[in-house]
Structure 1
Amino acid sequence: GRIDLIPSRFSKIPQLFKSGAIHIDATFIQISPPDENGYACLVGVDVERQAMETAHLVVGEINAKAPRIMGDTLVHMDEFNFFVESAEPPLYIPRWPVEDVFLKIAANIAAVVEDASCVSFGIGPLYEALAVQLTTKKNLGVHSPFFTDSLMDLVQSGAVTNRYKGVFRGKCAASYLLGSEKLMRWLDRNPLVEFQPEDVITDPKIIGTNDKTISILPARKIDLTGNVALHTGKGNVTAGPGNVQELFIGASLSKNGRTIFGLPSRNRKGLPNIVLSVDNLPFQFTNRESMDLVATEYGVAYLMGKTMRERAQELIDIAHPDDREELVRQAKEAKLLYADQIYFPESGHLYPARFICSHEFKGGLKVLFRPIKPSDEEKMRDLFYRFSDQAVYSRYFTSIKTMPHKKMQEYVNVNYRWVMSIVGVVEAAGTEKIIAEARYARTKQDAFADVAFIVDEDYQNMGIASYIFELLIRAAREEGIKGFTADVLASNKSMLKVFEKAPFPVQTVLSRGVYELTIPFADA
């Protein structure tokens, strides 16, 4: 009750001052000590100059410890009516401790941030963790409303060069300075960081001039349709849907831009952050038709271009494992999922994330390999329908024309112990595209598992099959499996070559045009 907020987009605040919609009688501006020519530096650039231009009374608070920051910051002493000297240091903001859950979320976000991307940071533990996880990137740019200690760390790591930015090239661009005394000392006369007014930094059109802009935003909760509830309360008084909207639109205007919402799967009270609906929560961001990526500690959900059913499946797959069964039940009742949708409650806990890895193949093709998920149903169906009739026959030993939901959902829902499936994924048009799949299956009594795999015909002869096969061998050996068996058509020469390259001897028997293969691991 001590303040009365005026909802507004950040970039529109200067215009509200100039138009008189927000009337300013007096403004108090903190500045650095003046130089010999009578020029001082603003400590904040956001809307201070516009406030000075419209206020009847302008008071300069001279702070001996204020840094001289670069950019649109110079003001002359003649622009002030009065001065006071501050005996207090500038307002320092302590750093947030980084919990393990945020490091995992940040690692998942970092996995989709490409080299030469332009990032935008806010304040809070998510960004502290991102500064750690993004240090291996190259030639990042920074165009951000806030410049904080975490961004300072990222710049000092060498990951930031600002070489490929479309505006303020070679420099970080920001509007707010929020951080520690160490940050303010580092920014003093530092030409690597340029501070510009709010209507410049948060203007979506200007944000969009930077290619591969990545707007990374914290969320409080998200529902299964893609609506987001933002944080409220301490530390978030000035943040809201308006600010998020500008960053969101800016990223959408950027060539190859992305927006990523990050949140833990559960809050500090142990309650789910991925829920059926956020309709009862304040501070909603309801631009769900343009939602792109959502990350938790359990992975990344790709929402762009997905149906409501696919979105629900994607989000359930990154919810806390103990919450997924109930979310499936609620989604069925809400008719977001098919009534016959199956779900193995133990699969969330058994998901073998340790097998997630990436590899670069011929021609610079980058492929992500990971265990299959229930939300891969449509992606696997797309892979099936891209196959020629011959490829389908080689894989399934019969002619199959359709792959209905009932059959495909059984295929993608595995328990990772008796059945293991690893898929190869590339990013296409902002979403995931499965180009390869390998799996083994066995019963509890079997020492050997039956193995099969297939690669999209557009991606064959690149080494993908051999790579995914080796991943499957590793997974099988960890489960105590003694070897693989496989049936391969004699005409399927490319698949036979993959088995021949395996690190274990292959025993073959030809029967009626089919090679029956046995690959014992112990003989290696």
Structure 2
Amino acid sequence: MSYSGEYQKKLVTPEEAVRVVKSGDWVDYGAFAGQVVALDKALAARKEELFDVKIRAVTALRAPEVVKADPEAKHFIYNNWHFSGIDRKLHDKGLCYHIPLLYHELPGYYRRFADVDVAMLPVTPIDEHGFFNFGPQVSHAKATCEKSKVIILEVNPNIPRCLGGKEESIHISQVDYIVESNWTLPQIPSGAPTEIESKIASYIMPELEDGSCIQLGIGGMPNAVGQMIAQSDLNNLGLHSEMFTESMVDMVESGRVTGANKTTDRYKIAYTFAFGTQKTYNFLNNNPMCAIYPVDYVNDPFIIAQNEKVISINNCIEVDLTGQVCSESSGTRQISGTGGQFDFAFGSYRSKGGKSFIAMESTFKKGDELRSRIKPSLTPGAIVTTHRAIVHYLVTEYGIVNLKGKSTWERAEALISIAHPNVREDLIKEAENLGIWRRSNK
């Protein structure tokens, strides 16, 4: 069956498509590497005609034109579920608002609570069956479309076709308007890990074993683990990870990953979005080894836990002496978001033989001053991303400790043992003041 007639009827210019947006509307822009470009530019050009248009996105890799066109936010209110560096800077200027979430719940937020007047999503060209593929960012795309009053697709031939899974595509019969565009996906090189990141990764590597099922978060340290895995002699690893990373391509091509020991999606890589360079997107394109799913499947702790030996590896910003982890803010300043850290920390520990690792460099510099990321108490205003009872292993360049089952004084002792040596005595004094240090502590 040919869909060319229906396609041509729905094909409009970006300027024509955005005429459906009205003042007061909620507009969704897509997520990660898949956020509209031509439609964003066209909507920005309507600035003077519109007021109180509320926009949602996830981790912008380009500064939205609607924000650049409206530096006083009189016309467009930009909101984001998980900040990128771009979003963080906009937030600092009062031009971006954070939306808290548990990532595995996000499709449900749309289906149960969120208003969506217009959904604008980038997709691959139409296939012979009349379907457009969402590319490497399924996440909550289908739930957004289900809730939206109007659906506009921005067709881009550069988007890789990512096989499902489920909810990875939408049929032309469900679409209101189509625009055509041609832009290159943002390239996110992984970069070489630092010496400290490699040291941290070296503490995690011995905890992995043949048949482990891996999740890697965003950042240099998880990427360092991925590179070490690719160079290891581990066998029959699985991948079940919200994010597919460039180092995972190396893991697969080195022969480390087969998925043979997985319970869910056996022999396949399950993920919900991807970041990387063209190397990553080329690997994912039409690759039957990869299965992209909505996030309420990939990040569901009870799905994660069905696999054995799940290894979850993520970063954090700071931790207090009782084990509360902040991974998304610096005091009151929003840095990123909860993302899937809680989902995988909880799900991996429920897995038979599973382990969760939260890692950080022990210190950071503020000006010329060296400051500890292990603190007596979290910075005022800091967000607790991962509850202290959920935290399993914490890792710095000075070691690795298990917090499960430990009392507050045992936690303080363990965390101080992996703090920078220059701050340990001060942390001991603070632990004494907090009543979580015993004379018998080391």
1:266 matched to 2:363: yes
SS where residue 153 of structure 2 aligns? strand
TM superposition shift of 1:339: 4.0
CA contact (8 A) 2:329 2:336 kept: no
Which amino acid counterpart does residue 184 of structure 2 have in structure 1?
P
CA deviation map 1:153-181 (0-9, x unaligned): 22222221111111111011000122212
User: After superposition, what is the alpha-carbon deviation per residue over 1:418-461, rounded to whole angstroms, capped at 9, x for unaligned?
Assistant: xxxxxxxxxxxxxxxxxxxxxxxxxxxxxxxxxxxxxxxxxxxx
What residue number does 2:117 align with? 25
Q: Is the 8 A contact 1:121 1:216 kept in 2?
A: yes
C-alpha distance in structure 1 between counterparts of 2:296 and 2:362, whole Å: 34
Match of 1:288 among 367, 376, 388: 388
| Larger relative contact order (Cα-Cα within 8 Å, sequence gap ≥ 6) | 2
Is the Cα contact below 8 Å between 2:349 and 2:392 reproduced in 1?
no
Kept in 1: contact 2:342–2:386 (CA 8 A): no
Aligned-partner SS, 2:120: strand
Deviation at 1:262, TM superposition (A): 0.3
1:298 to 395, 398, 410: 398
Q: What letter matches 2:278 in structure 1?
A: E
The answer to whether the 8 Å contact 1:96/1:124 transfers is: no
8 Å CA contact retained: 2:100, 2:337: no
1:202 matched to 2:299: yes
Give the CA deviation at 1:54. Answer: 1.7
For residues 77 and 338 of structure 1, the distance between their equivalents in structure 2, rounded to whole angstroms, comes to 67
Aligned partner (choices 231, 237, 241) of residue 140 of structure 1:
237
Q: Residue 16 of structure 1 aligns with which residue? A: 109
The residue type equivalent to 2:213 in the other structure is C
> How far is 1:96 from its partner?
4.1
> 1:161 corresponds to which residue?
258
Give 1:239's match in structure 2, choosing from 325, 330, 337.
Answer: 337
Does the residue aligned with 1:67 lie in a helix, a strand or coil? coil
Structure 1 residue 104 displacement after superposition: 0.7
Q: Distance in 1 between matches of 2:159 and 2:344?
A: 29
- Match for residue 134 of structure 2? 42
Corresponding residue for 1:58? 151
Could you list the per-position Cα deviations for residues 244-270 of structure 1 after superposition, in whole angstroms to 9, with x for gaps in the alignment? 222222123211221111001111442
- Other structure's SS at 1:161 match: coil
SS at match of 2:363: coil
Paired AA for residue 274 in structure 1: I
- SS of the residue 2:356 aligns to: strand
Secondary structure class of the residue paired with 2:226: helix
Which structure 1 residue ranges, 5 or more long, are not aligned? 342-373, 375-524
Structure 2 equivalent of residue 151 of structure 1: 248
Residue 182 of structure 1, CA deviation: 1.6
CA contact (8 A) 1:98 1:129 kept: yes
The question of whether the paired residues in 1 share the 8 Å contact of 2:153 and 2:177 is answered with: yes
What letter matches 1:257 in structure 2? G
Higher-Rg member (1/2): 1
Within 1, Cα distance between the matches of 2:429 and 2:126? 65
Distance 1:16 1:257 in 2: 29
AA in 2 matched with 1:64: P
The RMSD of aligned alpha carbons is 2.1
Q: State the TM-score, normalized to the length of structure 1.
A: 0.61
Q: Distance in 2 between matches of 1:58 and 1:2?
A: 26
The C-alpha deviation readout for 1:200-241, integer Å capped at 9, x for no partner, is 1111111111111122121111122111121338xx86531x
- Taking the TM superposition and a 5 Å limit, the aligned residue runs for 1:178-193 are 178-193=275-290
Q: What is the percent sequence identity of the aligned residues?
A: 31
State the secondary structure of the residue aligned to 1:267.
strand
- Matching residue's letter, 1:42: F
> How do residues 430-445 of structure 1 correspond to structure 2 at under 5 angstroms?
none
Structure 2 unmatched ranges of 5 or more: 1-93
CA distance in 2, matches of 1:188, 1:205: 28
Is the CA contact (8 Å cut-off) linking 1:63 and 1:90 kept in structure 2? Answer: no
Count of residues in correspondence between the two structures: 339
